[in-house]
Amino acid sequence: MLIEFQIENYLSYRDSKTLSMVASGQVSEHCETNVITTERTALLKSAVIYGANASGKSNLLGAMAYMKWFVINSSKEGQADEPIDVSPFKLDTATEKLPCSFQVVFLLNGIRYRYGFQADQTAVIAEWLLEAKKDTEKPLFLREGDGIDVRHAFSEGEGLEGKTRDNALFLSVVANFNGELAGLIIKWFSNLRMAHGLREMNYAQLSSHMIQDDNKKIKLIELIQKADLGIEDIIATEEELDISGLREALTEEAFNDFTKNLPKSRISLASIHKKYSNGKPSGFVSLKFEQEESEGTQKFFRLAGPILESLNKGSILIVDELEAKLHPLLTRMIVRLYHSEATNPKGAQLIFATHDTNLLEHVKFRRDQVWFAEKNQQQATDLYSLAEIKVHREDGTDRKVRKDARYEKDYFKGKYGAVPYLGEFEKLLMQEDSVNG
The model's pLDDT over 352-407, given as tens digits with 9 standing for 90+, comes to: 999 999 999 999 999 999 999 999 999 999 999 999 999 887 787 888 999 999 99
Which of 433 and 156 is assigned the larger pLDDT?
A: 156
Mean pLDDT over residues 91-97, rounded?
A: 94
- Counting beta carbons within 10 angstroms of the beta carbon of residue 66, is it exposed (0 to 12), middle (13 to 18) or buried (19 or more)? buried
In single-letter form, the type of residue at position 271 comes to: S
Closest Cα partner for 305 from 200, 408, 204? 204
Query: Mean pLDDT, to the nearest integer, of 159-179?
Result: 96
As a whole number of angstroms, the distance between CA 353 and CA 320 comes to 5
* Domains of the chain, start order: 1-192+315-425 (3.40.50), 202-305 (no CATH)
Tens of pLDDT, residues 273-317 = 999 999 999 999 999 999 999 999 999 999 999 999 999 999 999
| pLDDT score of 250 more than 90 | no
C-alpha span between 280 and 200 (Å, rounded): 35
Span 173-228, pLDDT tens digits: 999 999 999 999 999 999 999 886 555 556 778 898 899 999 999 999 999 999 99
CA–CA separation, 320 and 304 (whole Å): 15
Residue 112, pLDDT above cutoff 60: yes
pTM of the model: 0.91
C-alpha–C-alpha distance, residues 2 and 67, integer Å: 14
Phi and psi torsions of 236, nearest 5°: -110, 135
When computed from its CA atoms, the radius of gyration of the chain, rounded to whole angstroms, is 25
Q: How far apart are CA 338 and CA 416, in angstroms?
A: 25
The distance from CA 87 to its chain's CA centroid, rounded to whole angstroms, is 19
- CA-based angle 276:279:283, to the nearest 5? 20
Q: CA-CA distances (angstroms) from residue 178 to 10, 157, 184, 399?
A: 31, 10, 10, 53
State the pLDDT at residue 79: 72
